[in-house]
Structure 1
Amino acid sequence: MRKNITFLLGTATGVCLTLLVAGPQQLATAAKAAVESGTYSKLNLFGDVFERVRSDYVEKPDDSKLMEGAINGMISSLDPHSRYMNAKGWSDMQETTHGEFGGLGIEVTMEDGFVKVVTPIDDTPAAKAGIMSGDVITQIDDDAIQGLTLDQAVAKMKGPADSKIKLKIVRKGADAPVDVALVREVIRVKPVRYHTDGGDVGYIRITSFNEQTTDGLHKAIAEISKEIPQDKLAGYVVDLRNNPGGLLDQAVSVASTFMNRGEVVSTRGRTPEETQRFTARGGDLTKGKPLVVLINGGSASASEIVAGALHDHKRATLIGTRSFGKGSVQTIIPLGSGNGALALTTARYYTPSGRSIQAQGVVPDLEVLQVVPDELKTRAELQGEASMRGHLAAAEGAEQTGSQSYVPPSEKDDKALTAAFNQLRGVTVNANAPTAAKRPVPN
């Protein structure tokens, strides 16, 4: 019997997961399969190696560290998003999804033994220090990262507010590594920011999908509606650029905020019985107003679910560059008191049209490339899911790597945002855009 508890999706530590608990029947089936495949003989081999290390290694090893290392080695051989979390790592992940933690405000992943920056969170020490997507962290306080798990590296970067930390960063194209000194803060992630533009367009930026995202989005729509009368409101821009993902239920409810009905996403595991479908609920709070969604190479997983759903239902025009391409779902399996949890890739997710974006990404209706300053050109593009070692292959079609992730700090220099405003105001016309006259009702 399977019990669904919570879903998370994303590219960084503490996200891209689906919490499921295996029942007795599943465990019995797995045990039978293990016997039939001769797996238990390999487990005997593991036991022999473990005992030899314990008895003959030059120094007395820590048994718990040996076991944790063995588990990490097994899980890390699967794909970039499966991982083991010890008790602290599991606690830290739960803390992150609540939207408040002590640290630097940085979303990261592991690549080739080093920690790679997916994106810094707005208005945090990492963002203020100039850390950018694509930076590779090789040392923390003069200690090498290589050899640590992702959770161990993240734990070293977290800490009490006002405590100092130094990171050594390798940047593509730079002559030498860069030392960055930071002071930790209590990171209170505000996942939704908004303002009005020109008295006729509402702009909403969603930076992550944590437990506060949907409430923040509903508040943003309500406030924009107060500032702009309905008869003057040209529409909304929803900015998902460099949003690495988060909770799946929040992605579903965010998409539902702009849809009256219809499928948002489905997940498909190893067998047909594992297929699950998630549909819109609650109704369109924007009352059918035109919608533009901005995406780029840093828009991953939960962001891609929202963009894919709104695009497939012809509810929104997508503007920007191809998204990251993270189309897999992880299951968090608690391992008992004090033993942490296992994050295991168990399914792919599919947009309403039945398309998997794994290692391919979501392609915008209108591609808009930014003008990147010369000093940032080597860091303006993310290689995406398809470039990650051990990634799940695309379900069909050619894999795609590389997509621009740079967002100008000033709105006046932001070509994608300007294109979105123009689209809503009718200054330019995109043939793929769903107008009020031809937009179908999702079903």
Structure 2
Amino acid sequence: MRKYLITASAAALLIALPQLSPAQENASDTYRQLKLFSEVFERVRADYVEEVSDQQLIEYAIQGMLSTLDPHSSYLNADSFGDMRVQTKGEFGGLGIEVTMENGFIKVVSPIDETPAAKAGVKPGDYITHLDGEPILGLSLNEAVEKMRGPVNTDLTVTIRRENEEPFDLTITRDVIKIQSVRNRVEDNVGYVRITTFNQQTMPGLEKAMQEIKAEVGDQLRGYVVDLRNNPGGLLDQAVDVSDAFIDQGEIVSTRGRQTDDAQRFNATPGDLADGLPVIVLINGGSASASEIVAGALQDHRRAIIMGTKSFGKGSVQTIIPLGLSGAMRLTTARYFTPSGRSIQALGIDPDILVEQATVEQAAAARPGRREADLPGALANPNEQNGIDEGTTPEGEAHNLSEAAEQDYQLARAIDLLRGLALYNQRVVN
């Protein structure tokens, strides 16, 4: 009988307890977790082997929360936030290297052209394992980046691990990095436009470059090579503007966040800076983020031929959220998709024409060797004797590439393709 009474009392107690809603249960669980955080925080303050300020502990906690979400979310303290704002304007201090975190090490996305890192020989895909002999393992991405920064004209020794090579050290002298994001020149009546990064100066720089090329070549212009190799990305709006410069209509890129209401679409406006001429875009494993937006948009619209090797595969969008006087947080808030609906995240852009970057020796081997005309006493061509020159282009000019283009196998192949397209188009018109 007693057993029955105890059981009945327990049942009555259970019935009397209020039922918690799922939201209340979640809130209760959150409070328990915050209590756990508070206990850990207090224990570290009291018992850690060295004294650490409350500000440092809070920053470490925030950084840990963000950096473990994905490689691109992070906390920016007031100094880092200031540096980031300067960087997007096109000038900042450092080594000139775009990096990400992979397996606890710093992985080089790409060195920026004409910077100390590029001149020292840092390459896309390199891993940085030590800074001045101190291991990076255990540091967050922001902490490692902070260690790479420092006063101008000071040296930093980085230990590089490169595929199929023994680890080696490079000593790099820090400098003020002034990025000219767009450069241009003419190669054999082909306009060559190099975009190194996407900052606030990129679109104005592209417009200026295209104007200079048109003024120099005029009606003899065959087309354009847009070089996005080793371009780590940058501002989304600049990538949209650069894509719009070559596309007359249709979607350029879309972004989709956690909520369906967060989706955004960016569309092209009428006008084509290239005036309908053929465009070839060069990419490689160092082409990331904004570079992939441009390559993907031009590829899906069939406005350009994408040549080179597979791109990096960063298909996420980061939003900078200011936190008052405490800095800001960089949070991954969306994925972006090309006009055809492709997500490039972890996959990258596959080129239409795969062209590996050859070494100088391989490029030299690909050039023609001794020919009949080089042999002593070779017979003359009768057409030449009759005033017909078979060795010229349709416009009657010899192929003339700069030494830089001759040494750049991928660029040389892109120019060859534009020559072929120009010849084909001329024959169709004739």
What TM-score comes out, normalization by structure 1 length? 0.77
Unaligned runs of 5+ in 1: 1-31, 375-408, 439-443
Q: Select which of 348, 352, 356 maps to 2:335.
A: 348
Q: Distance in 1 between matches of 2:30 and 2:426?
A: 59
Q: What is the aligned partner in structure 1 of residue 215 from structure 2?
A: 226
Structure-1 separation of matches of 2:405 and 2:261: 47
Match of 1:186 in 2: 176
Name the SS of the counterpart of 2:317 in structure 1: strand
1:90 aligns with 2:77: no
Query: Are residues 1:122 and 2:119 paired?
Result: no
Shift of residue 185, structure 1, vs aligned partner: 1.7
Tell whether 2:349 aligns with 1:371.
no
Q: Does residue 256 of structure 1 match 2:244?
A: yes
Question: For 1:288 and 1:373, how far apart are their aligned partners in 2?
Answer: 34
Matched, 1:294 2:285: no
**Residue among 393, 417, 421 paired with 1:423:** 417
Residue 222 of structure 2 corresponds to residue 206 of structure 1? no
Gaps of 5+ in 2: 1-22, 362-402
The alignment-based identity, stated in percent, is 57
Q: 1:33 to 1:174 in 2, by over 3 A?
A: farther
Q: 1:72-111 counterparts in 2 under 5 A? A: 72-111=63-102
CA gap of 1:37–1:305, structure 2 versus 1, over 3 A, is: farther
Which whole-Å CA distance do the structure 2 matches of 1:275 and 1:36 have between them? 29
Q: Secondary structure at the match of 1:173?
A: coil
8 Å CA contact retained: 1:164, 1:183:
yes
Higher helix share: 2
- Cα pair 1:121 1:127 within 8 Å, conserved: yes
CA distance in 1, matches of 2:427, 2:273: 19
User: Cα–Cα, structure 1 residues 60 and 124, in superposed 2: closer, same or farther, change >3 Å?
Assistant: closer
1:414 Cα offset (Å): 3.0
Shift of 1:243: 0.8
Alignment of structure 1 residues 23-172 onto 2, 5 Å: 35-36=26-27, 38-172=29-163
Deviation at residue 355 of structure 1 after TM alignment: 1.4
By how many angstroms is 1:142 displaced?
3.1
2: CA distance, partners of 1:227 / 1:34:
71
Distance 1:262 1:34, change over 3 A: farther
Q: TM-score, normalised by structure 2?
A: 0.79
Partner of 2:233: 245
The alpha carbon displacement at 1:67 in A equals: 1.4
- Once structures 1 and 2 are overlaid, which stretch shifts more, 418-427 or 93-102? 418-427
Q: RCO (CA 8 Å, sep 6+): is it higher in 1 or 2?
A: 1
| Structure 1 residue 226 displacement after superposition | 0.4
The total of aligned residue pairs comes to 366
Higher-Rg structure is 2
Match of 1:4 in 2: none
Distance 1:62 1:422, change over 3 A: same
Counterpart of 1:386? none
TM-superposed CA distance for 1:373, in Å, is 7.2
Supply the distance in 2 between the matched residues of 1:33 and 1:425 (Cα, whole angstroms).
Answer: 69
Label 1:206 to 1:311 Cα distance change in 2 as closer, same or farther (>3 A).
same
Q: How big is the shift at 1:111?
A: 1.9
Q: Is the 8 A contact 2:360 2:407 kept in 1?
A: no
Give the counterpart of 1:414 among 396, 408, 416: 408
Q: 1:368 is matched by which residue type in structure 2?
A: V
Q: Secondary structure at the match of 1:133?
A: coil
